[in-house]
Structure 1
Amino acid sequence: MKFISRAQWGARPSRYALAYIASTRGVKIHYEGTHVPETLGRPDAHDQCAPRVRAIQASHLANDEEDYSDVAYNALVCPHGFVFEGRGAHRKTGANGTATLNSQHYAVCALLGSSGLTEPTDAQLAGLRDAVEWLRRDGDAGDEIKGHRDGHPTACPGGPLYAWVQRGARRPGGTGDTGTPAQRFEPYPGADFFKRSPRSPIITAMGRRLVAVGCSAYREGPGPQWTEADRRSYALWQQRLGYGGADADGWPGRTSWDALKVPNV
């Protein structure tokens, strides 16, 4: 998964504390519902995606009628397949239409419009699947994948994207909820690896996972160089798993590493 954390895309702080949600029935797919320039879908236009996500958050925070706590979605997916962290896992969405609907499903928004860029790219469909699987893994989302219009009177997520949902929300050239290949994860590199203060893409992947699960002590990054911020972040993960004392010292062990599920690099 090509994951971009809130810190990485420049999210503003939430206005209010985001409501915790233990689990959901699944995920609802959304689109922007406004004009999205076709140029956003060009392969060389990814640098326009983070500013667009920031603009969506700003518009939600400025919406006095809805009084949003933050960007309404748990994640947003650009045409290049990157998953932008929104409210994140275990946080109730504000996008599904009513308080009841917001409690039943997470919300993932594709950067697609009702005019201009209306057809999802293959990379975007793959990114939407990545977002769904992330919310299942880290947010206890159930198996349902629905459109915003399921249960709420709206055109969202638009004809092309809703047709994809109705066909089973399958990966391009692959499978959907049946037969999807298992995610491959980075094997535990050993305790000595971390004690050598390594510089490795494994450290970047680990840091991104820690950010994704809400265990971040980073002020910037994460990056490839092992730092004290990595150790403090990992200690938060160990505490999340119930470890204490010397067992939560921030140095990765095999059991906690396997539980973190760092994607292969």
Structure 2
Amino acid sequence: MATPLTADRFVAALRAEGVRVIEHRSWRTHNRDHKGAWGPLHGVMIHHTVTRGSAASVQLCYDGHAALPGPLCHGVIDKDGTVHLVGHGRANHAGLGDDDVLRAVVAESALPSPGENNTDGNARFYGFECVNLGDGADPWPAAQLDAIERASAALCRAHGWTAPSVIGHKEWTNSKIDPRGFTMASMRARIAKRLASPPSGSRPAPTPPSPAPAPKPVFEPFPGAQYFVSRPTSALITAMGRRLVAEGCSAYTEGPGPRWTDADRRSYAKWQRKLGYAGPDADGIPGRVSWDALKVPRTTRRDRP
């Protein structure tokens, strides 16, 4: 149990561990403290963003979206290992999780499998969002994994915690899959090894980015409710279904696939109810607000009749 670090001490701890830090806008006073407590804190939680690109990911995590206001974490860890600070205080990152998991984190013991969502994690954890699509194929560069290790170790060192105080979102609740693409057990082993030595201010230099065309929009814009009523066949439907599965809102017995089916509608209705909609507002036909909150990755639609 610990009192949250001040903004100055937070930055100092990261830099002492060799983390490259960028302070984004008014991050020091950007928080959700008016909605509830932040602290006492017990650990660090790691997430993936389901986005591409540093700028878009940082903007999303700072501002949030219609269904979930920002900040969505305290720091965004991009592919080259830079940590962009976007909030200090309560942030919408952890949500509800299992009180048995929290007790294990406090005790720094082995984690049970999460089975209940009965405890406010936003009040109890620092949160880092890592830029990754979370599809199991998007790579995790060495510099990014190194930054996750260093940032987590920095906060553990500042509070006198050990590596078991660092968990993944999927270890907090059974409704999430992040981070996907590396194991938290391997990350905790790295953090434990780092904490066994004094803090190191040196770190690998980032790999220069290769030239790239202008970035395309990260998420699919809302195509209109009538689009789904027409029962389309499109890669967009597959991408939507995969996001519903990732959010724990699947009613699929197989798929998802490219043709809009009743399984898609039932799955989307689960997503609407998860956002708090009820009755005719949770009919399974996407609306703009719920669609924007789902964050469907950009696709090549190629609609077919």
TM normalised by structure 2 equals: 0.44
TM normalised by structure 1 equals: 0.50
- In our comparison, the structure showing a higher alpha carbon Rg is 2
